[in-house]
Amino acid sequence: MKDYQPSRRGWTRGQVLLAFLILTSAIACGLAVYSSATTFIGVTRTAFSVLFLPLLLSLVLAFLLEPPVAKLSNYFNRTSSIFIVYLLVLAIFLVSTLWLLPQWQELWGNLTTDIPRYTAKLTEFLRQLLENLHNRFPVFESYDLPSKVRGWGEQLLAAILTSTPQSAMKVGGLFVIVPLFTFFFLRDGKAIMRALTAMAPNRHFEMAHDLSHLVTRQLGHFVRGRILEAIIIGLVVTLGLSLTDIRYASILGIFAGVTNLIPYIGPIIGMIPGILIAFVDLGVGPQFWWIVILYILIAQVLIDNFILIPILISRVSNLHPLWVFFAIIAGGKLYGVIGMIIGVPIVSIIKIAALEIRTYRRTFRLPETALDTERQY
Partner 1 sequence: MDPLWNNIFRKKHDEDSLAYFLNNLPMFAELNGRELNVLEKMVHVRNYGVSEFVFEEGDPGTGMYMIRSGGVSILAKNQQGTDDELALLGPGDFFGETTLTAPAPRSATARTTEQTELIGLFRADLLELVERQPTLTSRILIGLTRIVSERLQTASQEIRNLNKLIGEQLPTEIVET
**Binding residues for partner 1, total number by CB under 8 A:** 25
The 335-374 site mask, x for binding partner 1 (CB under 8 A), equals: -------------------------xx-xx--xx------
What is the closest distance, in whole angstroms, from the C-beta atom of residue 70 to partner 1 in the complex?
7
Helices (H), the chain: 13-37, 39-72, 78-136, 145-198, 202-242, 249-259, 266-277, 286-293, 309-312, 321-376
CB of 219 to partner 1, least distance (A): 14
For residues 178-197, which are near partner 1 according to CB under 8 A? 194
Nearer to partner 1, 214 or 298 (CB): 214
By CB under 8 A, what part of segment 195-254 binds partner 1? 198, 202-203, 205-207, 209-210, 212-214
Among 26, 51, 70, 158, binds partner 1 (CB under 8 A): 70
Q: How close are the terminal C-alpha atoms of the chain, in Å? A: 35
**Contacts of residue 227, Cβ cutoff 8 Å, sequence gap at least 6:** 60, 64
- For the window 12-31, what string marks contact with partner 1 as x by the rule CB under 8 A? --------------------
Contact 235, 308 (CB under 8 A): no
- Binding to partner 1 (CB under 8 A): which residues in 265-304? none
10 binds partner 1 (CB under 8 A): no
Q: What is the DSSP string of 311-352?
A: HHS-GGGPPPHHHHHHHHHHHHHHHHHHHHHHHHHHHHHHHH
Q: Which is nearer to partner 1, 101 or 198 (CB)?
A: 198
User: How would DSSP label each residue in 252-278?
Assistant: HHHHHHHHTTSTTTHHHHHHHHHHHHI
Stretch touching partner 1 by CB under 8 A, among 69-77, 107-115, 155-163, 324-332: 69-77
- If the CB atoms of residues 72 and 291 are measured against partner 1, the closer one turns out to be 72
Contact 228, 63 (CB under 8 A): no
Other Cβ atoms within 10 Å of 359 Cβ, number? 12
Q: How far is the CB of 210 from partner 1 (least distance, A)?
A: 4
In this structure, are residues 102 and 133 in contact, taking their beta carbons and an 8 Å threshold? Answer: no
Smallest distance, partner 1 to C-beta of residue 260, A? 30
Site for partner 1 in 71-90 (CB under 8 A): 73-74
Q: Residue 230's closest CA among 300, 315, 306, 324?
A: 300
Contact set with partner 1 (CB under 8 A): 1, 3-4, 7, 70, 73-74, 194, 198, 202-203, 205-207, 209-210, 212-214, 360-361, 363-364, 367-368
